[in-house]
Every structure is written in structure tokens, then in C-alpha cells.
Amino acid sequence: MKVVFLALFTLIVTSLNAQSIAGQWKTIDDETGKPRSIVEIEERDGKFYGKIVKLFREPGEEQDPICEECPGKKKNQKIIGMEIITDMELVKGENVYEDGEILDPESGNVYDCKLWIEDGKLMVRGYVMFLYRTQTWLPYEG
């Protein structure tokens, strides 16, 4: 009986722990539904950061473009390898990561960011005040 209780307790505690967002995620274009890139998220010193490690480009497009619209030091940097998610922190007691930012390399805009996992998918919300857009990123094994 003690073994069953211990196993059940362990299962409950494990399921209450937040799912980590670390790993590789495939971004999907909102308009076309096609894959756009692979973003790798990693933890450094208790915060989470994401960089673009691969782009899915059409044959006639520049395969390794630069970010002409990006602000500051990222202007004219190559998009592959660029850190677009910065300073995300896990909110204690919740399965939500906040207090960081996300950069849209197409527009150069930087947004406040909120990340969470739902049904095994990464929900990515960029927002300014009360205006926001949420994307669904898929796990990538490749």
C-alpha cells in the first residue's frame, strides 16, 4: 500500500512541475501555414533564450538573409544564429514564462513575450500593452 501511495504521490508532483520550453521548435507562418524556421530555446542562469538555427526558404529567396529592419546591434546581422527570445523567466507555481522579449526579424519590432506549453505545443504570445498575437510552435525533432 505504501508503494502505491508513494508512486501516486510522485506522479502527481511530477505532473505539477512546469514543462520546460527548452528544445527546438518549428515556427509556422500565420498566413500560409508553412514552416518558417527552427528556434532553439535554452536555459542560461535561470532565464530562457531562443535563437534561430534554421530557416525554411523558397529556392529563389536568399537562404541566409540579414535583418535589415532589426534595431540596435542586430541591424544587418544574419538571421540564422540570431537570438530572438530574451530573458524569459518561469513564473513560480505556473506553467508560464514571462518578463522577456521577442524580436520579429521580418519587421524589426520587439514585443513583450509570454510562452507556455499547451498540448505539447509551444504557445508564443508577443504583445504591446493589450494588443497581442499568439502563434503555435511545434516540437522539432530533426
pLDDT of 16 strictly over 90: no
pLDDT at 18: 63
Model confidence at 111, pLDDT cuts 50, 70, 90, reads: very high
Per-residue pLDDT, 9: 39
Pick the CATH number of 19-139 from 2.40.128.520, 1.20.1420.20, 3.30.1360.80, 1.10.3720.10: 2.40.128.520
pLDDT reading at 128 higher than 50: yes
pLDDT at residue number 127: 95
pLDDT tens for 34-55 read 999 999 999 999 999 999 999 9
- The domains of the chain are located at 19-139
What's the one-letter identity of residue 131?
Answer: L
Between the alpha carbon of residue 107 and those of residues 10, 48, 62, 110, the distances in Å are: 46, 23, 17, 9
